[in-house]
Amino acid sequence: MFGRGRKIAPYLFISPFFIGYAIFFLYPVVQSLQLSFYRQVGLNKAPRFIGFDNYVRLVSKDALFIKALANTTYYALGSILIIVPLALLLALILHSPKLRLREFFRFLYFTPNITAGVVVGIIFGLVFEEQYGLINNLLLAPLGLENVRWLREARWIMPAVILLGAWKWTGINAIYFMVGLQNIPPELKEAARVDGATRWQVFWHVTLPLLRPILAFVLTVAIIGSYNLFAEPAILVGMEGGPNNAGMTMTMYLYARGFRELKMGYASAIGYSLAVIILVLSVIQLVLIRAFRED
């Protein structure tokens, strides 16, 4: 069927993908924007045009939306602050020459990332269990600290989810940083050492600036990952986010409104708000990283 020659062949090669892309991605993207200006509850009800009402409601009247936004932002900031320095430290150690068991560590650190979110949520239900959980009994009790009511008290839920996130994501980010370190020509560091720079100075003035592209990548993935967070908190504290909805993330909120209450228009507006937030954060982050380069 491709014998016709080189003129039409490329179109035949790309058309299956683009037809699928149009049906299952582009059309829903456009349809969702339209739907976000309508009120439609239930599948078979007729949609009613209401202009910007959904968006106005989200921002001004919907406390739960604001809460989900705050929770997700809390998670994003908290997990990035733990993951990035820790992953960088591990990558620097794993990158050092003559290290034994490098492959073992690299593989072990990577495994949480290939484990299903539902499975991680299940395991961490036991890690954070109040009376018989691993953290309270094996980490806090030996230090003489009181049991923390991780999943039962609103203020402890997000810290628990952040620790879960750190467990799942630190390893793969360490591997990203390792790739970045491997791409730094060793001559640069040697030159700096010859010029009398201390190891700390070499790290701060040579290694770190050269890791900037990897850092930008890591932060972008982390931001998107935060707003995608769904399975882990849903399994850990339930679809409503546990006490006081403290564990409800943006995607969980979209699911609740769209697929439990079937508020199609409203959920579409949530989806678009989410897209705008991710876009704005990614741009801010790229601008910040670039600003540091100008120094």
Partner 1 sequence: MRLAISRHPDATERKSLYLKLLEATLLYAILFVFALLVGIPFLYMFTGSFKTNGQLFSWPVNLLAPEPTLNNYERLLSGEEIPYLRQMGNSVVIAVSQSALTLLFASMVGWGFAKYEFRGKTFLTIFLLFTFAIPFQVTLVPLFQMIVRLGLLDSFLGVILPSSVSAFGAFFMRQAMVSIPQELLDAGRIDGASEWGLFWRIGIPLSRGALSILCVLVFLAAWNDYLWPLIVLRTPEKFTYPVGLATLKGLYKIEYGMILGGAFIATLPIVLIFVAGRNQILDNLTIGAVKQ
Q: Annotate each residue in 92-131 with x if it binds partner 1 (CB under 8 A) or - if it does not, as one string.
A: -xx-x----x---x-xxxxxx-xxxxxx-xxxxxxx-x-x
Tokens representing residue 262 in the block: 């079937």
CB of 236 to partner 1, least distance (A): 10
Coil, helix or strand for 263? strand
**Listed ranges 56-64, 151-159, 206-214, 247-255: which one lies at the site for partner 1 (CB under 8 A):** 247-255
For the chain, report the end-to-end CA distance as a whole number of angstroms.
58
Which residue in the set 56, 70, 81, 138 belongs to the binding site for partner 1 (CB under 8 A)?
A: 138
CB of 257 to partner 1, least distance (A): 10
| CB-based contact 121:231 (threshold 8 Å) | yes
125 vs 243 by CB, closer to partner 1: 125
Which of 162, 160, 130 is CA-nearest to residue 146?
A: 130
Which residue in the set 66, 89, 191, 280 belongs to the binding site for partner 1 (CB under 8 A)?
A: 89
118 vs 209 by CB, closer to partner 1: 118
Cα–chain-centroid distance for residue 235?
17
**Listed ranges 53-61, 76-84, 90-98, 146-154: which one lies at the site for partner 1 (CB under 8 A):** 90-98
Q: Annotate each residue in 37-76 with x if it binds partner 1 (CB under 8 A) or - if it does not, as one string.
A: ------x---------------------------------
Q: Annotate each residue in 177-216 with x if it binds partner 1 (CB under 8 A) or - if it does not, as one string.
A: ----------------------------------------
Tokens representing residue 158 in the block: 């997000």
Binding of partner 1 at residue 142 (CB under 8 A)?
no
CB of 256 to partner 1, least distance (A): 12
Positive or negative torsion for Cα 66, 279, 168, 217: negative
The DSSP secondary structure of 51-77, one letter per residue, reads TTHHHHHHHHT-HHHHHHHHHHHHHHH
CB of 283 to partner 1, least distance (A): 10
192 vs 235 by CB, closer to partner 1: 235
Alpha helices in the chain (DSSP H): 9-21, 27-35, 53-60, 63-95, 102-110, 117-127, 134, 154-182, 186-194, 199-202, 208-210, 212-228, 231-237, 250-255, 264-294
CB of 268 to partner 1, least distance (A): 5
Which residues in the 20-39 window bind partner 1 by CB under 8 A?
Answer: 20-21, 23-29, 31-32, 35
48-49 and 38-39: which strand pairing? antiparallel
| CB-based contact 71:165 (threshold 8 Å) | no
Number of residues engaging partner 1 in binding (CB under 8 A) = 89
